[in-house]
Chain A
Amino acid sequence: MAMEHEMHHGDEHPSSTIRQYVMTGILLTAITAVELFLSYSSLPHGLMITLLIGLSAVKFAIVVAIFMHLKFENRLLTRLFLFGLVLATCIMIALLSLFWNDTTDAVGGIPEGQQTAPKH
């Protein structure tokens, strides 16, 4: 981001920092608008999902980097946070692929006449 330079010296130009924040806010809103537009468009499904996920990842990164100052902090903090984020993503992907490839799902639940005995 081009604003990195100014941010470092934010103390000296407070008003310009505020402007950068506001610009970031506008950028985020704009991306959201694009996302909204995409979701109503008639793009092919796969492409749309990729774009949507890509854009929200960009938003995610912007907020973390600028609003949460991660970009300007000690790298250690980035690593600590990324560790959780990456692990969460990996586990999500693993879980989803385990479930989406599951071929043992019996459709329609338990067959007729095999229900449990009555409870008492």
Chain B
Amino acid sequence: MGRSGPGRIIAIAFSSVVVGVISWLCYLAFVDSADTPQSTWRPMSDNTHNIHTVYEIVFWLAAIVFVFILILTLAFTLMFREKEGTTAQQFHGNSKLEAVLLAVPVLIVVAMMVPSFKAIAQNTADPPEGALEVIAIGHQWWFEFQYPELGVTTANELHVPVGRAVSVKLKSADVIHSFWVPQLVGKVDMMPGHENHLWFTPDTARDDAYLAQCAEFCGASHANMRFRVFVDTEVKFDAWTKATLADAAKPATDIVKAGEQQFTLSGCVGCHTVQGNAIAVGKLGPNLTHVGSRTTIASGVLANTPDGLHKWLSNPPAVKPGSKMPNLGLSEDQIQKLTAYLGSLK
């Protein structure tokens, strides 16, 4: 491939094809990755739509620069490789060309900046009137959710109604955590000593949870600090609220009764609240009033099944390194009872 005439065209064509194919493969992989449960490219709320509008602009501009620079780099490498009998052209620069090359990045930057500014304004605006208020508190390593208007407190699984704005106040009980639901809302940190805000209006109700995960390193079990958001229909949400407001279910069977006693005896009550159980008012761990109706426990690390509970109760720090719930040295029998009891707390 030479440096003039047809050789030059061949070099550019060849580079374009190579870079084009590579870029296309990358694009396919991007699209493929966008189709994953925790994808950042599946906007399902006004907040993430706003983000995605900018994202697409920024992404495609970046892609153009990517393709353009890679083609030039490859083509120049091929075109100007050392050859017998040729010499390098001696020139120090080209002011006109340099001016153009200055202008192009400036234009690209402006093209990215304008929509970015718009999205900043949108996503940091005050939440609309009538938004559902939620207080989210990050703990090492689980999330607490309070609904001050409804009087509900729950953990690790956030229920919100579709089509209504949700305004979340973000707090932390210890170190920095982060609230990030890739499909519903861009990340905002939970800063100890500060109160951050975010809001979003989910637009699609579905049975599957929207997956989320703490996105600020917060210590040993940062990897195990996940949560789920359920976007419910109006009706379902009201039902959930009602159920959650109610006191815990009264023990119906013997083993559950025994479990309730065990819950007191083992000191669980010191850390956990069970509404309707007068002694269980601890605040250090998640509220367990309706733990049985959650799909997962321990902030999404274990399925909420008898097996999962069993695994958790027999040694929490083994499931979640550093867990603030200690290994209580429960016997098999005690675990059985507790599992039955916890499972009954629907």
Contacts and interface: CB of A to CB of B under 8 A. Distances in A.
Tell whether any CB of A sits under 8 Å from a CB of B in the complex.
Answer: yes
A111 interface: yes
Contact of B173 (A102, A115, A120): A115
Contacts of A105: 193-195
Contact of A104 (B137, B195, B271, B326): B195
Contact of A116 (B171, B173, B195): B173
B173 A109 contact: no
B191 A104 contact: yes
A77 to B, nearest CB: 33
B174 interface: yes
A106 B284 contact: no
A119 to B, nearest CB: 9
Size category of the binding interface on chain B: 20 to 34
Nearest to B195: A106
Contacts of A113: 283
Contacts, number: 45
Given A114-B137, A117-B324, A104 B284 contact: no
B299 to A, nearest CB: 14
A46 interface: no
Nearest to A106: B195
A98 interface: no
A117 B191 contact: no
Contact of B139 (A111, A117, A118): A117
A86 interface: no
Contacts of A118: 284, 324
A105 B195 CA distance: 6
B194 A116 contact: no
Interface in A66-120: 102, 104-106, 109-111, 113-118, 120
Nearest to B194: A104
B20 interface: no
A120 B193 CA distance: 23
Question: Chain B at the A interface: mostly helix, strand, loop or mixed?
Answer: loop
A114 B194 contact: no
B271 A117 contact: yes
Contacts of A120: 326
Interface string B282-297: 0111000000000000
B305 interface: no
Contacts of A110: 171-173, 192-193
Contacts of B194: 102, 104-106
Contacts of B271: 117
A106 B173 CA distance: 12
A116 B283 contact: no
Contact of A114 (B140, B171, B325): B171
Nearest to B283: A113
B196 interface: yes
Interface in B294-319: none
Contacts of A106: 171, 193-195
B191 A114 contact: no
Contacts of B196: 104
Contacts of B140: 116-117
A120 B271 CA distance: 15
A108 B191 CA distance: 14
Contacts of B197: 104
A7 to B, nearest CB: 45
A117 B285 CA distance: 8
A92 to B, nearest CB: 22
Interface in B148-181: 171-174
A3 B78 CA distance: 68
A114 B326 contact: no
Contacts of A104: 191, 194-197
Contact of A109 (B137, B144, B193, B326): B193
Interface of B: 137, 139-140, 144, 171-174, 191-197, 271, 283-285, 324-326
Interface of A: 102, 104-106, 109-111, 113-118, 120
11 contacts: A104-B195, A105-B193, A106-B193, A114-B144, A115-B284, A116-B174, A116-B284, A117-B139, A117-B285, A117-B324, A120-B326
- Nearest first, the 10 A-B pairs at minimum CB distance are A117-B324, A104-B194, A106-B195, A113-B283, A117-B284, A116-B174, A114-B173, A104-B195, A104-B196, A106-B194
